[in-house]
């Protein structure tokens, strides 16, 4: 079926049904292709295609969970044709509208509004999100780009979503920054604020933001492309030079993370290349030369690397370089995990000068992946995707899917003579009330709060709700464990409900007395152990809010509320 629309307004509103189990025309999801063409001078030009969630049978109705927006202002006074194997009910609901200013404002602060939606963690308004991309700090504003598919609540052809914040807690949704094109989907990448205008895409008075990302063609070819913005990230233009780094003949060649190279006084980037990372350098972000590799030597866990990052942290008067890599299936336990390496950067490649006999994990939980840092920020600030590939698409979050972790400020410390990353939640300072001691079995009157716990010996801390669901944290002399086996609704996924994906454990790095900070936000827990040398992130779906905290053991507990 098809529908012709004479474009007079700026957006196409595309209906999306995200409630597959409730589809009246069949509970099983069966995506169907929708194509958009422009008719001009008696010929048609294909503009775009994407998958629309539908049922197996012909749909007499099409229940709408939300409307995805497709920009069409550039086609004003032209005819667009929408064509696909979808029913009349779907096509009848497509409309050409402008976004009223009142609606645009109302959609800028969706955090906390939907069932199970976190309050202080970034979530997309609608549709799917995964990896953070292009995180950059410009003139007091944090720009958070991310992998987005607007036409479903499961993964699809990737776009770059965009949100901005001045405090890392309150996020304003911005229009989609990058759409797929003839080179492919817009996979993960990074952005830099080109303050010296080395790219010559801006001016010295108005430096550009340069995004570099992976163009992933549907045949699997992955190459690196760039786009630039001269209005502080509101709009991007893709370079006619794309791809600026061509594929050398391998698969899994993606996720460029650009950074300033202080040795060669130029731009460098690190990107994932199967079981290792490649390094490239450029004077102008357009012309790149390969300068080195790292891995697989020094890596104790086999698997494909993704979403690398390389950045320095000052420690005792010198810079220690940190290389972070993500692994969709770390062979150690088959979980999504992130590991890091410590060493030096000689201007061409990373050198692991602080080797370890075992992997260094950035987070021991199930739900923190693809974390990268903000370019141009004063502090080293890291944010990840607060989800897991094994069950992300099945999570019971209605019109959206996925969230980001809180930003984490990174530093270094020594534990028993070994250099170790330290993470602390960032952005909460302005909104965190003073903590106060609480008694065992205290009632909690908010869904977003923090706990500071200190103790000696074995202990158990429990968050409980009125229907008997409980999230449990255990501490022993050797390990810290988060157990979500009984934490809430879990039957939505065959993986989520298993013991393998219910109990996460971090080996303790310190002996004796211990401390924890727990930040809980509606449906996600971020735990920072022993002054931040370990972290465990986990999502849970309690069917009613946790309203009590209890514990066993020799410990003291303080509660703080977060008024954001």
Catalytic residues, by residue number, are 131
CA distance 275 to 295: 7
- Other C-beta atoms closer than 10 Å to the C-beta of 476 total 14
Main-chain phi, psi angles of 395, to 5 degrees: -60, 145
CA distance 413 to 262: 24
Q: Are 386 and 491 in contact (CB under 8 A)?
A: no
Main-chain phi, psi angles of 22, to 5 degrees: -110, 5
**Separation in Å, CA 498 to CA 335, 353, 392:** 13, 39, 15
3-state SS, residue 265: coil
Query: Who contacts 116 (Cβ-Cβ below 8 Å, separation ≥6)?
Result: 396, 397, 398, 522, 523, 541
Q: What is the DSSP letter of 117?
A: -
Q: Are strands 185-193 and 209-216 parallel, antiparallel or unpaired?
A: antiparallel
CA distance 236 to 349: 30
CA distance 340 to 23: 44
Report CA Rg, the chain. Answer: 24
* Dihedral angle computed from the Cα positions of residues 341, 345, 348 and 353, in that order, rounded to the nearest 10 degrees: -60
Q: Are strands 318-327 and 337-345 parallel, antiparallel or unpaired?
A: antiparallel
**Per-position b or e across 227-260, b if 16+ CB within 10 A of its CB:** bbbbebbeebebbeebbbbebeeeeebbbbbbbe
3-state SS, residue 499: helix
Main-chain phi, psi angles of 199, to 5 degrees: -80, -20
Q: What is the DSSP letter of 406?
A: P
Indicate the helix (H) or strand (E) that contains 138: strand 127-138
DSSP assignment of 358-371:
S--BS--SSS-EEE
**Bridge-partner residues for 452, per DSSP?**
517, 558
Asked whether the CA dihedral 108, 129, 238, 306 is positive or negative, the reply is positive
Cα–Cα nearest to 301, from 323, 270, 273, 276: 276
DSSP assignment of 54-106:
--SSPPS----SEEEEEE-GGGTTSEEEEEES--HHHHHT-EEE---HHHHHH
């Amino acid at each position: 079926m098809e529908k012709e629309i004479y474009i007079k307004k700026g957006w196409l509103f595309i209906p999306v049904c995200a409630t597959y189990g409730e589809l009246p025309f069949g509970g099983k999801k069966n995506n169907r292709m929708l194509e958009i063409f422009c008719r001009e001078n008696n010929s048609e030009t294909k503009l775009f295609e994407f998958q629309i969630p539908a049922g197996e049978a012909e749909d007499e109705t099409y229940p709408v969970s939300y409307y995805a927006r497709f920009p069409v202002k550039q086609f004003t006074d032209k005819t667009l044709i929408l064509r696909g194997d979808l029913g009349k009910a779907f096509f009848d609901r497509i409309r050409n509208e402008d976004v009223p200013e009142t609606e645009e404002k109302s959609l800028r602060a969706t955090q906390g509004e939907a069932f199970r939606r976190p309050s202080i963690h970034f979530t997309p308004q609608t549709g799917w999100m995964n990896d953070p991309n292009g995180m950059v700090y410009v003139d007091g504003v944090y720009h958070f780009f991310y992998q987005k598919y607007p036409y479903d609540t499961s993964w699809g052809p990737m776009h770059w979503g965009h949100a901005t914040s001045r405090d890392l807690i309150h996020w304003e949704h911005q229009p989609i920054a990058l759409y797929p094109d003839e080179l492919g989907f817009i996979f993960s990448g990074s952005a830099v604020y080109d303050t010296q205008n080395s790219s010559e895409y801006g001016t010295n008075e108005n430096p550009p933001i340069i995004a570099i990302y992976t163009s992933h063609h549907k045949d699997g070819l992955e190459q690196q492309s760039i786009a630039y913005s001269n209005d502080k990230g509101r709009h991007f233009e893709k370079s006619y030079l794309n791809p600026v780094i061509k594929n050398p003949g391998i698969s899994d060649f993606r996720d460029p993370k650009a950074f300033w190279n202080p040795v060669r006084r130029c731009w460098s980037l690190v990107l994932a290349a199967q079981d290792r990372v490649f390094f490239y350098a450029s004077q102008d972000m357009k012309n790149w030369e390969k300068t080195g590799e790292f891995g697989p030597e020094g890596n104790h866990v086999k698997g494909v690397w993704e979403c690398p990052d390389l950045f320095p942290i000052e420690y005792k008067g010198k810079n220690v370089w940190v290389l972070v890599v993500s692994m969709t299936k770390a062979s150690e336990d088959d979980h999504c995990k992130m590991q890091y390496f410590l060493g030096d950067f000689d201007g061409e490649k990373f050198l692991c000068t602080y080797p370890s006999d075992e992997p260094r994990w950035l987070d021991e939980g199930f739900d923190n992946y693809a974390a990268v840092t903000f370019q141009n920020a004063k502090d080293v600030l890291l944010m990840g995707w607060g989800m897991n590939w094994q069950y992300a698409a099945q999570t019971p979050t209605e019109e959206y899917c996925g969230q980001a972790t809180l930003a984490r400020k990174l530093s270094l410390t020594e534990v028993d003579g070994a250099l170790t990353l330290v993470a602390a939640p960032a952005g909460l300072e302005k909104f965190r009330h003073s903590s106060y001691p609480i008694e065992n079995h205290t009632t909690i009157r908010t869904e977003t709060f923090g706990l500071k716990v200190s103790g000696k010996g074995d202990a158990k801390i429990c968050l409980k709700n009125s229907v008997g669901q409980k999230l449990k944290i255990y501490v022993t002399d050797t390990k810290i464990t988060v157990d979500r086996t009984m934490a809430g609704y879990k039957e939505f996924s065959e993986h989520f409900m298993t013991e393998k994906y219910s109990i996460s454990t971090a080996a303790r790095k310190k002996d004796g007395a211990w401390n924890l900070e727990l930040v809980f936000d509606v449906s996600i827990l971020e735990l920072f152990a022993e002054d931040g040398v370990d972290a465990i992130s986990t999502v849970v779906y309690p069917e009613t809010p946790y309203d009590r905290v209890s514990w066993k053991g020799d410990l003291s507990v303080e509660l703080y509320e977060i008024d954001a």
